[in-house]
Every structure is written in structure tokens, then in C-alpha cells.
Amino acid sequence: MSEAPAPHAAEGREPRGPAPRLRIRYSKQGKVRFTSHRDVARIWERALRRAQIPIAYTEGFAPRPKLSFGLALSTGYESLGEYLDVALRVPLDHVAVEQVPALLAPALPAGIEVQSVVALPPGEPSLQQVVTSCTWHIEVGDLGPSDVAAGVARALEATELPLTRERKGQTVTDDVRPAILDLQVLGPVTEVVAPLAPTATGTATALRAELATQPRALRPTELIAAIDPTWVVVRVTRLHQWTQAGGARREVIDLGPAATPPPHAERRAS
């Protein structure tokens, strides 16, 4: 260990200006989807320390690593596109950024896989700021495509789609129709993998939805509740997180067309 170049700052090498940051794209699939957002944050803290990435800490009595995530993924959901920003104490100089995924891989539990790591240019806004919408794969249990299509059509035709939600302890009703940027029925699913609820028939219908995250995020279960509160969501996978660049929409870190598998094609972690 003492042979390796010191991954942390030597005295007098205090960084100037904003801390350098890494942005990590990763997937979360299989059993590990039952960990909470808080759990995942702690898993990352330990994995980054194990990989000897020089994380920056907050000041104060109980210093915490400076990690920031985008829109939290609910416990039980899978994702092919999660993001995490890591503030560094010092610039990464003992290892190239391309080598970071390989360093992190053995430090992460089965089901969490690093897809890409990039160094962020100084001044790059946070994930909370840049992400404007997410694409979701949603499966609704025990319901055929025609029933689902009818519900979807009703929702899309409606001029207003009111939904009552809890917000900071208050019940608020607002129109969620503007947050639905795209909504399509994909077709029947004959075997639900990674289920979130039991199904009577073992079948489901798949939807693909692009939902806005700003000004307020619309979540997949909220979308379904707004369409028809009797529908049961049996699987949710986040496929993309989008940002705006030069008037066009693009993935926050694009892996290229071949690199993003559809949710049924992946090798499942168990």
C-alpha cells in the first residue's frame, strides 16, 4: 500500500477553486434493487473508499463524503441508467478516469454495475439541475394490452389529469398531464421477471413512458395512479435520464445505441 502513489493530498496541495468531480453512470438490477436510496449511497461511499478514490468530505462535526445523486430511485425499481456525482479532494492523478470502472467493479455488490465514468468540466451543473426527464419501462399486472391501451388513450386525450399527492406533509392536487412527455403501450409480457407484486396470471402489459422531472418529478406509480388507480404495477425499470443540450434532448452520459440493452435482454444478477 505504501508503494502506491498516495491517493490523497500531501500537505500544501490544497486544491483551488471548485472541487474536481467524477460523474458515474451505473445500473441496478436483480436482488439488489431492494436496497433503498440511502443504502445505495452508503454502498457507494464504501466502494469508493475501497477503490481508493479520494472523495471530498463535508466540513463539521460529522464529516460525510460529498456524493450527489439525481432523482432517487424507489426501493424495488431497477435501472439501466443511474447517475452519481462524486466530489474529489484532489484531482485524480494516480489513475486514469477510464480505469475507474475496473477499480470499482470488485467493490460493488452483484447487480450494481458501473457503465461509464467521466470527469466533469468545472462549473458543470448538478444532476438535479441537468436532468429534465426520465424514460421508464413499466409493467402492469394481470391486464391485457387492449385494456391498457384504452386507459392510456384516455389519459393522453385528457386536457387535464389531476393527481392528489403528499408534498411536505400537505395534500396537493395538481395536473400531471404536462409531465407526460411520451407514453406508449409496448405489448404483452408473458413472464414477469423482477416482480414487485404478485400477479394472479403471471402476465402483464408493458408500457414505455417519458416523464418530466421538472418543475416537479412525476414518478411511475403516480402516473399509473393518475391513469387508473386499480392498476397494479409489477415491474419498473428506469431506462434513461435525459438532459437538454443545444435545444436537443440527449442522455446524460450516452453509452451509444448498442450499449443500452432492453430490460428483458440483460443478464440478471441474482
Partner 1 sequence: MSSVWTQLEPHLAGVERPARYIGLELGARRPTAAEGAVSWLLTYPDTYEIGLPNQGLQILYEILNERDDAVAERTYAPWSDLEAVMRREGIPLFSVDTHRPAHEFDVLAFNLSAELTYTNLLNCVDLAGVPVRAADRRPEHPLVVAGGHCTYNPEPLADFLDAVVLGDGEEVVAEITEVVRDWKASGRAGGRDGVLRALAQVPGVYVPSLYEVAYGDDGTIAAVTPRHPDVPERVEKRTIADLAEWPYPRRQLVPLTEVVHDRLNVEVFRGCTRGCRFCQAGMITRPVRERPAEQVRTMVSEGLRRTGYDEVALTSLSTADFSGIEEVVEGIVDDPAACGQVSVSLPSLRVDAFTVGIATQIQKARRTGLTFAPEAGTWRMRQVINKLIREDDLYGAVEAAFASGWRRVKLYFLTGLPSETDEDTLGILELARNCVELGRRHTRNVSVKASVGGFVPKPFTPFQWFGQNTLEELERKIGLLRDGARKVKGLQLTWHDPKASLVEGLLSRGDRRLGPVIEQVWREGGTFQEWSEHFSLDRWLKAMADHGLDVDWYVHRHRTEDEVLPWDHLSAGLHRDFLWQDWQDALAEVGLPDCRWTPCYDCGACTGYGIEHVVASTTPPAGGSQGTGQDLSTADRVTSVPVVLRTSSLTGADR
Phi-psi region of 128 (alpha: psi -120 to 50; beta: other; left: phi over 0): alpha
As to burial, measured by CB atoms within 10 angstroms (0-12 exposed, 13-18 middle, 19+ buried), residue 201 is exposed
Q: Which is nearer to partner 1, 49 or 154 (CB)?
A: 49
By CB under 8 A, residue 46 contacts partner 1:
yes
Q: Least distance (Å) from partner 1 to the CB of residue 4?
A: 9
Phi-psi region of 160 (alpha: psi -120 to 50; beta: other; left: phi over 0): beta
By CB under 8 A, residue 159 contacts partner 1:
no
By CB under 8 A, residue 45 contacts partner 1:
yes
φ, ψ of residue 206 in degrees (nearest 5): -95, 145
- Residue indicated by cell numbers 468545472: 122
Q: Which is nearer to partner 1, 112 or 161 (CB)?
A: 112
- Cα torsion 38, 198, 108, 87: sign: negative
Pick the closest to residue 24 from 92, 128, 100 (CA basis).
100
Of 5, 16, 17, 61, the one binding partner 1 (CB under 8 A) is 61
Contact characters 227-246, partner 1, x per CB under 8 A = -------x------------
What separation in angstroms does the CA of 35 have from each of 11, 61, 78, 148, 238?
Answer: 38, 28, 11, 30, 15
Stretch that binds partner 1, among 44-52, 143-151, 178-186, 250-258 (CB under 8 A): 44-52
Q: Least distance (Å) from partner 1 to the CB of residue 162?
A: 26
Of 66, 68, 72, 75, the one binding partner 1 (CB under 8 A) is 75
Q: What is the DSSP string of 79-132?
A: EEEEEEEEEBSS---SS-GGGHHHHHGGGS-TTEEEEEEEEEPTTPPPHHHHEE
Of 73, 80, 88, 90, the one binding partner 1 (CB under 8 A) is 90
Stretch that binds partner 1, among 93-101, 102-110, 122-130, 163-171 (CB under 8 A): 102-110
Of 102, 110, 150, 259, the one binding partner 1 (CB under 8 A) is 110
Binding site for partner 1 (CB under 8 A): 1-2, 6-14, 31-32, 34-36, 38-39, 42-43, 45-50, 52, 54-55, 57, 59, 61-63, 75-76, 89-90, 107, 109-111, 194-199, 234, 270
